[in-house]
A = this chain, B = another copy of it.
Amino acid sequence: MKYHFIREEIPYTGDELSNHWIYRNYGILGDAVVAFVGPCEVDQEKMVDLEDILNDDYIYSKKMLNFIVEIFGISLQEGVLLQRLFSAIIEDRINMLMPEAGIRRRGDDLFYRETQKLSVSICTVSPTSILIHTGLNIDAAGAPVEAAGLVSDLDIPDVESLAVACMRTLAEEWEDIRLSCCKVKAVL
């Protein structure tokens, strides 16, 4: 899995969660994760979580650190497992930076002080890949739910370093997972 931090600001609208978006825009072919900063606002017709749609939820963040992951040749269920592992990786990384933050994961969500939502995340399927969007609030002002932001609440100003560390760990762990499948003896 290759990884890349995109320095230009890009609004996340939901269109970015599409087959080959990374390859078409950044020329990175194959399994990859990219990150970028930008406001996040997803129109309902571009939302992919039907539960959110049925609940009339909306997805908004004034400024967000966005990750897009695309993996080819795996099932949706594997994608959801990887999505949650990625949330655990981000949780660990923030807790290492700020041990007192006490970020906790519940499913694919990360919370600050138990109730302040730090993240949004979704995993879905395209015709040839699995796609994950995970976004971390940078500035939580105006969020539709009780929320926290990396800068506004957690005092982590260097989101690029955080993003790169999370992406590198994900890429290394994905490689390690694949190799783990190559060194175990089966049992009866």
Interface positions of A (Cβ within 8 A of B): 17-20, 23-24, 27, 29-31, 47-51, 54, 72-78, 80-82, 84-85, 88, 91-92, 95-96, 99, 102, 104-105, 107-108, 122-129, 131, 173, 176-188
Contact = CB atoms under 8 A, between A and B. Distances in A.
A186 B126 contact: yes
17 contacts: A18-B187, A20-B185, A30-B178, A31-B182, A48-B187, A49-B183, A77-B177, A78-B81, A81-B81, A84-B177, A85-B85, A91-B92, A108-B180, A125-B184, A125-B187, A126-B187, A131-B187
A7 B129 CA distance: 38
Copy total for this chain: 6
Given A81-B82, A176-B107, A29 B182 contact: yes
A186 B184 CA distance: 17
Contacts of A107: 173, 176, 180
Contacts of A186: 19, 48, 124-128
A76 B124 contact: no
Contacts of A88: 85, 88, 91-92, 105
B124 A125 contact: no
Contacts of A179: 29-30
Nearest to A174: B81
A97 B93 CA distance: 19
A159 to B, nearest CB: 22
A117 to B, nearest CB: 17
A80 B179 CA distance: 10
A88 to B, nearest CB: 4
**10 tightest CB-CB pairs across the interface, nearest first?**
A127-B186, A88-B88, A81-B81, A124-B184, A48-B185, A50-B183, A30-B182, A72-B182, A76-B181, A125-B186
